[in-house]
Copies of this chain bind each other. A is one copy, B any other.
Amino acid sequence: AANVWPRLRDFAVSAWEFGRADRRKVVFGAKVGLALTILSLLIFVKGPFRQLNRYSVWAILTVVVVFEFSIGATLSKGFNRGLGTLSAGGLALGFAELSTMFGDWEEVIIIISIFLAGFFASFLKLYSTMKPYEYGFRVFLITFCFIMVSGYRTRQFIETAVNRFFLIIIGAVVALVVNVCIYPIWAGEDLHNLVAKNFAGVAKSLEGCVNGYLQCVEYERVPSKILTYQASDDPLYSGYRSAVESTSQEDMLLGFAIWEPPHGPYRMMNYPWKNYVKVSGALRHCAFMVMALHGCILSEIQAPPERRQVFSSELQRVGNEGARVLRELGNRVKTMTKLEPGDILFEVHEAAEELQKKIDSRSYILVNAECWEIGKRPDNMDTVDNLIVIEQETKHLTTKSLSEAVLDLRYVQVPKSWDFRDSNSGFSSSHLAPGSPDNMVQKQISWPAQRSFKIDAPLKEEESRTYESASALSLATFASLLIEFVARLQNLVDAFEELSVKAKFKESVVEPVVE
């Protein structure tokens, strides 16, 4: 018992925090309370309208059942409830009429009709296109059984049906008026914000992946939550994951938003909510590339840091420009403004092109020439190191602010061995590595060569060379995925433009470019 009070207090504190974090939830609770209070006044009705009093419970029931967080959800449930009640009422009255005509067989007819209603309503609601009307089927069944049963008992089929319907209407109207008129919460707005937020998440992940890759971030142990695709608070991971994972939430919000009348900034009949989901889908298509980039960081096969540095400024620039485009688009979704004339992708395409050219002229870094059967290139390693020096002298500092963090790494003396990764305590930035112990139970993904080929020990030399070559190719993969990410942006821009036209976004005010 001594435990109860502190626990209750903790609970109250966390509920208070929860309410402070999203005030709308408190408002929602108060609105439900208010609607119920209004309807509970019905029980004090006396005199000619005392029928209202008697059936008031139905109005209260309707509020509890129909009153949902967003207006779209409330409308869709209200519609389902109305439709279910009406059709069930009609059908039940028909069957009741029929059953009385059969005299002695009345009970049999009632029982058979209840079985049939139960069977068809339950079977048909599993039909995939009927999914949004699941609740309607349930209401249908309840109403039908209710009218049949209580009608039989009281012999007032019609009165039961009419009263019930009337009180449900009252309940629904009160629920709706309270929900719409006091601090309305719109599903469409939630959808809009969700899509805009996804852009920011993917942009953050993209930047994080590129920076992390260049700073040679490594996971000592990959969190098992990432390996089994569960939510995790890893910063690189959570950004794209939430964008990838929001499909079902978007679909749900879309289902509600289409019920909502024009309101606020969405003043248009048939507002193109579907296009928000489409934009989010196109963003997801890009996010999968960010996911693959993150895979290069998660992988055990890692390119040697000195080789990454060769492409550092180009990779950095593509990453920054890509994230800038995503943020810009996200911002425009949020503020509902059209794109400025001119190609928003110009800079990122230029950056990607530059990266591509750099790869083109330095692609020997990406492969391991020592094993070529058509003649070995002499002093390959030295050349690479020389080139790194050349890089440092001639590179264009296009992305000053961010590349400075990388810069000081470049002047660290680079050991000339391939086993660089094992001695790179200076490089392996560890801010991702530690975490709660239960996150880290999983052992690291193991590169096959180390596990299954222990048997051919004499081949060890060859093995390690193979590993080297794989690790160099991993850099090519990273660059290639980044370029593919850029290519996918076009599709995203197209989807955004379709949205901005259909939803009649504001024209962007062309200001003098300040960059």
Contacts and interface: CB of A to CB of B under 8 A. Distances in A.
Chain A interface main SS type: helix
B487 A447 contact: yes
A506 interface: no
Contacts of A372: 361-364
A285 B227 contact: yes
Interface in A91-123: 107, 110-111, 114-123
A490 B446 contact: yes
A18 B282 CA distance: 33
A317 B491 CA distance: 34
A32 B118 contact: yes
B146 A33 contact: no
A162 interface: no
A64 B136 CA distance: 12
Given A127-B15, A367-B364, A352 B142 contact: no
Nearest to A477: B480
Contacts of A117: 33, 36
The list of the 4 closest CB pairs from A to B, nearest first, reads: A228-B281, A29-B123, A363-B367, A349-B448
A152 B53 CA distance: 11
Interface string A362-379: 111011110111100000
A425 interface: no
Contacts of A5: none
A65 interface: yes
Interface string A423-453: 0000000000000000000110111110111
Contact of A146 (B53, B60, B284, B371): B60
B227 A356 contact: no
Nearest to A495: B228
Given A37-B111, A110-B40, A288 B284 contact: no
